[in-house]
Amino acid sequence: MSDRSALGPAAESSGAPSGGPTRVLVVLYAIFALAAGARAGVQIGTRFSEAPLAYLLSALAAVVYVVATVGLVRGGATGRRTALTAITVELVGVLAVGTLSLADPAAFPDDTVWSGYGSGYGYVPLVLPVLGLLLLRRTRNRSDRTDSPA
């Protein structure tokens, strides 16, 4: 079939402990690090006094996404621990901020990435940490057998 070759050469199998799916997750995290970082930068730079709490949370979210991205990219035991911590903070953050923003909208006059459980971003911020934790669990089981030092 000629259209199959248009899809590219045959793939190599992802034998490394941090396989292909991890890399897809890294792309998602990188995009959210960019989105949350840019949003926090604009909010804090232009109108910090309007909603300091919401904007600081935006900045926190951005930092968490960056740390998670770096942890996932680095891999290994340290990278995995870093990513695990960041993603756990992220999950707690999105649940806490999501709940608070719905329970007490007055405390959040302007939206953050995590407001309404990430409804402004298609709920991806809610799904992302769950996927991340599942994937870390899966790769840990695999790397226990094949992990190399460093």
Partner 1 sequence: MTLPLVVAITVVAGLLTLLGIASTLARRRIGLLHVAGVCLLEALLVVQAVLAGVDLARGDRPVETATFLGYLFGVLLIPVAGGLWARNERTRWAGTVLAVAAAAIGVMVWRLLQLWEATRV
Residue 102 one-letter amino acid? L
Residue 49 makes contact with partner 1 by CB under 8 A: no
CA angle 63, 29, 90 (to 5 degrees): 55
Restricting to residues 109-138, name those near partner 1 by CB under 8 A: 122
Query: Which residue matches tokens 């402990």?
Result: 17
- Say which amino acid occupies 20: G
Six token digits for residue 25: 């997750």
> Does 31 interact with partner 1 (rule: CB under 8 A)?
yes
Nearer to partner 1, 6 or 150 (CB): 6
From candidates 42, 96, 130, 134, binder to partner 1 by CB under 8 A: 42
Contact assessment for residue 114 and residue 97, using Cβ atoms and an 8 Å cutoff: yes
Are the C-beta atoms of 4 and 121 separated by less than 8 Å? no
Instruction: Please calculate the CA angle 135-139-141 and round it to the nearest 5 degrees.
Output: 120
Contact call for residue 46 and partner 1 (CB under 8 A): yes
The minimum distance between CB 10 and partner 1, in angstroms, equals 6
Sole binder of partner 1 in the list 41, 56, 143, 147 (CB under 8 A) = 41
Contacts to partner 1 by CB under 8 A: 4-14, 19-21, 23-24, 27-28, 30-31, 34-35, 38-39, 41-42, 45-46, 122
